[in-house]
Structure 1
Amino acid sequence: MKTLLLLFFGVGHIDNVAGTEKVFVNMANAFSQRGYRVIAIYNDSPGKKPFYEVDEKVELINLAMGKIFPPISKKILREIYRIFKFKITNPVEIYKSEMFAKKIEEKIKNSEIYSVVCFEYNSVVVANKLGITPRIAMVHNCIDELIKPLTKKELEQANKMTAYQVLMPSFVKEAQRYLSTEIVYIPNAIDKVTLARQEKQISDRNKHTIICIGRLEAEQKQQHILLQAFALLADKYPQWEVDIYGLGYNLERDAYKEELLHIINKYKMEKQVHLKGVTDKILEKMCQADILAMPSAYEGFSMVLGDAMSIGLPAVGFVNAPSVNELIVNNVTGILCADTIKDYAAGLEKLMCNDKLRRELGDNAYLAAQEYSAEKVWNKWENLFKRLHEQ
């Protein structure tokens, strides 16, 4: 039996309701069901488990080291490097990686690992210390966000990977500007849901819903733009509502929630706009909606957008948003808008006032989603493992 090692560190908490955490669980489950022995390792507080359901055959290991406190000397060095802008690897992160690697070696001793998959940069450093090959790193966002900012020393670590996986075809050339290792395009896998399911739920409703799903965050997710755009339409379309699902991870994002509430109150949209918090029934909520609002400034491969496509839900996004502007084909599977509030409102209204167009674009989105079916995507991963292992 082939053993696949998945490494995921450097997140707030493993129980976050977010895309990378979902892919971590989905990949573990998929390869366990394909007959692999899957060891999925993460680090969080003792007792913390993923929000998403993990197959009972997966060997899920929480290193349970919680927040690691490095020696004061490492912290002093980090601050010196930061003040003088030395572009080298953070000594605190090096210390943490050494601690992770030592603990992992204890967990996997006597195991012959077939391939290692790293879910973010911290895992890359750990995998390099373990020395197991082949090892593949994932990039769960656009290149400008996760690869471009790496220092020269960090890029040296990244280039020790056997390969880097990116989520969009255009990301391959972008990544090659910074990395010398092999770059492979494999999208995220999305589940297939029948289009009839959505049609049935929509047909009996009088009200209409724009749904927006993602952590509450100003820089990337930009829910404030959705609210400001809808404020231009709310009075004209009293039968339309906006449901926003998601929470922030920290106090800064809690403050952003208050900002969103302020916008809702300012434009007297309390009866039409709702902050719904977290749900474990994303697809069910999508099936009750008419439009997906995707006001993100950038994405890697949005699982939310992929799920929406899989049920035939048309989306409205920005033409300059990486990944979003490739997954949405303008006027074919959804609407792409210029980066202004007025233009985003116009994009929403184009679908709000035209039931036939919503259905047409939704049907096209559903057909396009087949390219990202779980079977196709996991086959690509399995073929990659095989090819790299045989090199």
Structure 2
Amino acid sequence: MKILLIQHQGFINGQGGTEKVCSFLADHFAGAGHAVEIATCENRTGKAVYVRHPHVTITNIYTPDIIQKHPRQLWNYTGKNPLLWIYYKIRKKRDKLFNHLLYKKLNGKDGLYLFNLQQRASAWKQFIDARKPDLIMTMSLSSVLEITYNNTYAIPIVNSTNGRPDYDYTDLLWYRSSIDMYYLKAAYRHLAVIQVLFSSYRSFIPETFKGKCFTIPNPVPQIKEEERADLQVSKKRYKIVSIASLITSCKQQDLSIEIFSAIAHIYPEWDLFFWGTGPDEKALRDLIKKKGLQNRIFLEGFTSAPLEKLKQADIFIFPSKFEGFPLALTEAMASGLPCLGLRSCSGVNELIQHGENGFLATDQAELQQQLEILISQPETRSRMGTNAHLSMQCYAPETVIEKWNALIWETHPG
């Protein structure tokens, strides 16, 4: 069978959960003898970070012929040089005129949105028709829209939903225009099958979807009992760890810094480590410096060996605002770490069983109290770490693959 996986943006050089899952599926399908291709459309160069199977083909369909028009960004000069003030004033007027003419030509912002979408969709149609796959698997709802806008296919399309479904077609998490939300929601009509991460997520699928739904979680690496974090050994220094992109609007590393800073003086043998990269690195460094804890709180950057870092840790803290199926959290749990998260966070509140394998907090004060419990009670830390390790066994890769095989067989029996 020829399987085409599509992640229209973010796959090249991408190090997130979606890229991991896409690569996991591609590697498995290729290993099972299918002809597998991953396609993206990105104006960048680089590589696939997680793909391992040598027979997985990776194609970037982007060419300069895919015309994309964008308004110019308007800048206000804030300095005191009068000549520069005049220069930027003139440039701003010029760019305003450019934007006005652009919107006038394309019937406003909605027209510009549809123009750019049509250019990309046409390129996808040409590519897919040439490839003639037996099955298309999209890694996001945006990818569904990219390939189906004003297009039709006789090929079944399966969408892998890497978050709670309503995050993909609403403005709950960030700004989306009304027209963007309308077309994203309408894109569900093109799907033969949708995969969701938890059964509870089915209730967030819109009425526009008429296909079949499968609940399939993400795979979690299984750590041998003798290799997981040893929480019973006495140490000179203990580690609280977080692994996530440095994006405080979602991952809230600043919240972890605040609660640790409030109790760091009480527990001088404990340190806080962050692994990951992102746009808020400088702001977090400034906050650490403000707290005067540069020798206790560390931003360690990207790690290619997260499991090794987790096995050396004692507590995992993960106060995200929203998630789908957070891989870093599941890897921490598989490594035998007790975990802290927020009760309001999707995905996190499915994986952490409060009081059993970690704690779910309702606010900052409660999160701080729970962190202190884990720091001060080694027996609780050890018990919850063991429970966390055991609770991840149901997400073993071979179990997840069996579910995907069933989905593929039902979608394309031939």
TM-score, with structure 1 as normaliser: 0.88
> Shift of the alpha carbon at 1:79?
7.7
Which residue does the alignment assign to 2:158? 136
The answer to whether the 8 A contact 1:120-1:139 is kept is yes
The answer to whether the 8 A contact 2:245-2:277 is kept is yes
Partners of 2:260 and 2:201 in 1: how far apart? Answer: 32
> Shift of the alpha carbon at 1:75?
6.3
The structure 1 residue matched to 2:145, chosen from 122, 125, 130, is 125
- Partner SS state of residue 203, structure 1: coil
Partners of 2:355 and 2:319 in 1: how far apart? Answer: 17
Which residue does the alignment assign to 2:215? 185
Partners of 2:377 and 2:339 in 1: how far apart? Answer: 14
The structure 2 residue matched to 1:76, chosen from 97, 103, 116, is 103
Q: Call closer, same or farther: CA 1:194–1:134 in 2, change over 3 Å.
A: same
The answer to whether the 8 A contact 1:45-1:64 is kept is yes
Q: Call closer, same or farther: CA 1:67–1:51 in 2, change over 3 Å.
A: farther
- Partner SS state of residue 335, structure 1: strand
The structure 1 residue matched to 2:195, chosen from 141, 165, 178, is 165
- Partner SS state of residue 367, structure 2: helix
Which residue does the alignment assign to 1:116? 136
Partners of 1:78 and 1:219 in 2: how far apart? Answer: 36
> Shift of the alpha carbon at 1:300?
0.5
Q: Call closer, same or farther: CA 1:161–1:208 in 2, change over 3 Å.
A: same
> Shift of the alpha carbon at 1:186?
1.2
The structure 1 residue matched to 2:323, chosen from 299, 303, 309, is 299
- Partner SS state of residue 300, structure 2: strand
Q: Call closer, same or farther: CA 1:306–1:204 in 2, change over 3 Å.
A: same
Unaligned residue ranges in structure 1 (runs of 5+): none
Partners of 2:190 and 2:102 in 1: how far apart? Answer: 26
Between 172-181 and 282-291, report the one with greater CA deviation: 172-181
Higher-Rg member (1/2): 2
- Partner SS state of residue 399, structure 2: helix
- Partner SS state of residue 263, structure 2: coil
Q: Call closer, same or farther: CA 1:115–1:174 in 2, change over 3 Å.
A: same
Partners of 2:248 and 2:14 in 1: how far apart? Answer: 18
Letter in 2 for 1:335: F
The answer to whether the 8 A contact 1:44-1:67 is kept is no
Partners of 2:232 and 2:53 in 1: how far apart? Answer: 33
Identity of matched residues, %? 24
The structure 2 residue matched to 1:39, chosen from 19, 37, 40, is 37
Which residue does the alignment assign to 2:9? 10
For residues 235-250 of structure 1, the aligned pairs below 5 Å read 235-248=265-278
- Partner SS state of residue 183, structure 2: helix
Letter in 2 for 1:131: Y
The structure 2 residue matched to 1:234, chosen from 235, 252, 264, is 264
The answer to whether the 8 A contact 1:89-1:153 is kept is no
Q: Call closer, same or farther: CA 1:72–1:379 in 2, change over 3 Å.
A: same
Letter in 2 for 1:208: Y
Which residue does the alignment assign to 1:371? 394
For residues 56-71 of structure 1, the aligned pairs below 5 Å read 56-65=54-63, 69-70=67-68
For residues 275-286 of structure 1, the aligned pairs below 5 Å read 275-286=299-310
Which residue does the alignment assign to 2:244? 214
The answer to whether the 8 A contact 1:5-1:115 is kept is yes
Q: Call closer, same or farther: CA 1:381–1:77 in 2, change over 3 Å.
A: farther
Partners of 2:70 and 2:269 in 1: how far apart? Answer: 59
- Partner SS state of residue 59, structure 2: strand
For each residue in 1:76-114, what CA deviation from the matched residue of structure 2 results, as whole angstroms up to 9, or x when unmatched? 3798554xxx699743123212223323444x2xx5x33
- Partner SS state of residue 137, structure 1: strand
Partners of 1:368 and 1:78 in 2: how far apart? Answer: 57
Which residue does the alignment assign to 2:352? 328
> Shift of the alpha carbon at 1:242?
0.9
The structure 1 residue matched to 2:47, chosen from 26, 46, 49, is 49
Partners of 1:137 and 1:207 in 2: how far apart? Answer: 45
> Shift of the alpha carbon at 1:322?
0.8
Partners of 2:289 and 2:390 in 1: how far apart? Answer: 39
Provide the alpha-carbon RMSD of the alignment.
Answer: 2.7
Point out which structure has higher relative CO (alpha carbons under 8 A, 6+ apart): 1
The answer to whether the 8 A contact 2:242-2:317 is kept is yes
For each residue in 1:241-284, what CA deviation from the matched residue of structure 2 results, as whole angstroms up to 9, or x when unmatched? 11111111xxxx2xx22221122112111111001111101111
For each residue in 1:18-66, what CA deviation from the matched residue of structure 2 results, as whole angstroms up to 9, or x when unmatched? 1111111111112222222211112335641112242112122233538
> Shift of the alpha carbon at 1:326?
0.8
Letter in 2 for 1:378: I
- Partner SS state of residue 214, structure 2: strand
Partners of 1:184 and 1:152 in 2: how far apart? Answer: 24
Partners of 2:358 and 2:49 in 1: how far apart? Answer: 30
Letter in 2 for 1:241: D
For each residue in 1:183-225, what CA deviation from the matched residue of structure 2 results, as whole angstroms up to 9, or x when unmatched? 3221111111113212459736421111111111122111111
The answer to whether the 8 A contact 2:106-2:112 is kept is no
Partners of 1:75 and 1:136 in 2: how far apart? Answer: 36
Which residue does the alignment assign to 2:83? none
- Partner SS state of residue 271, structure 1: coil
Partners of 2:305 and 2:348 in 1: how far apart? Answer: 23
Partners of 1:105 and 1:233 in 2: how far apart? Answer: 60
